[in-house]
Amino acid sequence: MRRAQRARVLEALARAGIAFELHEHPAVYNMVEARALERPHPLAQAKNLFVRDDKKARYFLMSVRDEKRVDLKAFRAAHGTRRLTLAEPEALATLLGLFPGAVSPFGLLNDRAHVVEFFVDRDFLDEENLIGLHPNDNTATVYLKTSDLIAFLEASGVRVTLCRFD
């Protein structure tokens, strides 16, 4: 199933005419393991957090630069949410069709009802304009222009919110 998810993502990118670089690697389940890998674009690596509010009414996917710490209290205050916590693996599977370790904005393609709200770190639009993400499979990383990712997701009906994470 993981390879099928990866194939669907890569085929969708190719159909959209989006250039990307695929880097295969051993499976990683967290950023500590990912940082230990030899990566072609270490500054482009995204950390993806899937969180929910305390009533399980709103779900959020946040893609931030690897080295940043996400302050959920500050995010809550800036975006008027209830208290936030990491979402359960069951919600990840149900809403995005993903498993822990493979959290990625590409999972939003599986969210046909557009339940999950997506926030991406503005810093990915810097001069390099590059972001590295799992293609819904934690044995590879896809590097593409951040602007292409945003356009691709928006064309699929995903609302993308640019956000400053410090």
pLDDT tens-digit series, residues 66-85: 889 999 999 999 999 999 99
Strand, helix or coil for residue 34: helix
Residue from 75, 122, 78 nearest 86 by CA: 75
Over residues 20-33, mean pLDDT: 81
CB 99 within 8 A of CB 89: yes
CA distance 166 to 147: 20
157 pLDDT above the threshold of 80: yes
Place of tokens 């994470």: 165
CA dihedral over 111, 88, 105, 138, signed as positive or negative: negative
Strand, helix or coil for residue 78: helix
- Which residues span the domain enclosing 75? 2-163
Q: What is the pLDDT of residue 1?
A: 60
Q: What is the pLDDT of residue 63?
A: 97
**Token pair belonging to 132:** 């590295």
88 pLDDT above the threshold of 90: yes
Number of structural domains in the chain: 1
DSSP state of 41: -
pTM for the whole structure: 0.92
User: What CATH number corresponds to the domain at position 114?
Assistant: 3.90.960.10
Report the residue count for the chain: 166
